[in-house]
Structure 1
Amino acid sequence: MIETFVSRPNWAPPIIEKKLADFYQLLEDSGFKANTIGKSQAPLMSPFEDVRRLMKRCRCTIVLGLPQIFMHSGTVKHEPISSNLTLPTEWNQIEATMSLMLDLPTLVLLHKTVAARGIFDRGAANVFVYEFDSLDKDWLTSIRPALSSLKQAVAT
């Protein structure tokens, strides 16, 4: 099994959280062992230190950008938002950056309802951003090629 750091929020909308059981099964079936602080690993130190220590044990990272922050009004860079804005956890940004700095193969997956900002903004980092919709019945099939590419990257 390939030890894999999975960056994801500890809370996701219940309808999405239910779908993640199938995602974790797909990871296992594909040869990946998922590790996430607060899910598979209990915190022991500060969040940064826990992430750093766990990530150093892993051979790759999967960044799972799920809906976490829901803005219905407000501004972004002093511009009013014109429609609802959904953002991932800020830890996706931190953990993706740490993974890239450790030169780990990093797979970035973004739920289609989440705004593409930071690591999820195409071209912001030297990673391809795969969009998915966990509410689509074929979403796991759509990410299989990306998992295959990640597995190949780990092998090289």
Structure 2
Amino acid sequence: MTKVFISKGSTATQEQRAFVDAVLEMLDTVGLSARIMGENEWSHEQPLKAIRKIIKECDGAVVIAFTRTQFHEGLELKIDQTLPISDIKLPTTWNHIEAAMAYSYELPLLVVAENGLKSEGLIEDGYDWRVYWTDMNPEEVKSDSFKGVLQSWKSAVEEKKLSPSSSEVDLSKVGLGKLISMISLPQLWKLIGVLAMLIALVAGGSYKLGAGKWPWQEEPNKQIQPTQKPRG
């Protein structure tokens, strides 16, 4: 089954939990296996290291962003000015961190965000993905619009899984030209060095077996001396 990484914060309300469960159920319905740190994935390592390992094993990532921090009034400091801001809602910072990590591995991203969140960082339209904004009603997951976006994203995930850039490549189906193009220049020089060493070892062995002669050096024909008959 295709594995996808889920980035979400700890749910603090029944509404948040119900919406997350609805999204996870829909992912399971379309044949995707969700991997979630702290729920079905655990590690003895520090979070960033453990998350990176899991993301590398996945073919896509889903970011479910909802309110973690909220304040009614504040200030936004910009160059030469201070702007008053109000009714600010922010998601967990892990949404941004994990989305950036998934994007660095070129995983297709499905970003689902609660209406009213501050649109910034990775929770913002204009990158290589579209943010799906929602009121976090579980019934929204069953809507045609959500299903359409989900299916479009799933197609990108399946394409990523089958692409030659995937970590699992069937070399028996890759042509020589394509195989060479997949090798970096330093790797190519190392390969040439190894081949040269093997040729030298084989040639050296042949030289020794040939009693000091290279395989291409033919031994001159010996002249047969006529047998002399004894004098009678």
Measure the CA separation in 2 of the matches of 1:140 and 1:155: 22
Measure the CA separation in 2 of the matches of 1:129 and 1:19: 16
CA RMSD of aligned residues (A): 1.7
Could you say which residue in structure 2 is the equivalent of 1:79? 83
The count of aligned residue pairs is 154
Counterpart secondary structure, 2:4: strand
Rg larger in 1 or in 2?
2
4+ long deviations beyond 6 Å? none
Displacement of 1:149 after TM fit? 1.0
Instruction: Tell me if the contact between 1:86 and 1:114 (Cα under 8 Å) persists in the aligned partners.
Output: yes
Could you say which residue in structure 2 is the equivalent of 1:151? 154
Displacement of 1:36 after TM fit? 1.4
Assess, with a 3 A threshold, how the Cα gap between structure 1 residues 62 and 85 changes in structure 2: closer, same or farther.
same
Assess, with a 3 A threshold, how the Cα gap between structure 1 residues 116 and 140 changes in structure 2: closer, same or farther.
farther
Assess, with a 3 A threshold, how the Cα gap between structure 1 residues 10 and 30 changes in structure 2: closer, same or farther.
same
Measure the CA separation in 2 of the matches of 1:15 and 1:42: 25
Measure the CA separation in 1 of the matches of 2:157 and 2:98: 18
Q: Percent identity?
A: 27
Could you say which residue in structure 1 is the equivalent of 2:111? 108
Assess, with a 3 A threshold, how the Cα gap between structure 1 residues 7 and 136 changes in structure 2: closer, same or farther.
closer
Cα deviation code 1:34-67 (max 9, x no counterpart): 1111222124211111110110111100111111
Match of 2:136 among 134, 137, 150: 134
Give ranges in structure 1 of 5+ residues lacking alignment.
none
Displacement of 1:140 after TM fit? 3.5
- For residues 91-102 of structure 1, what are the structure 2 equivalents within 5 Å? 91-102=94-105
TM norm structure 2: 0.62
Cα deviation code 1:110-155 (max 9, x no counterpart): 11121211112221x2211111221363344242112101111022
Give ranges in structure 2 of 5+ residues lacking alignment.
160-232
User: Does 2:25 match 1:22?
Assistant: no
User: Does 2:11 match 1:11?
Assistant: yes
Instruction: Tell me if the contact between 1:23 and 1:140 (Cα under 8 Å) persists in the aligned partners.
Output: no
Q: Which has the higher contact order (CA 8 A, sep 6+)?
A: 1
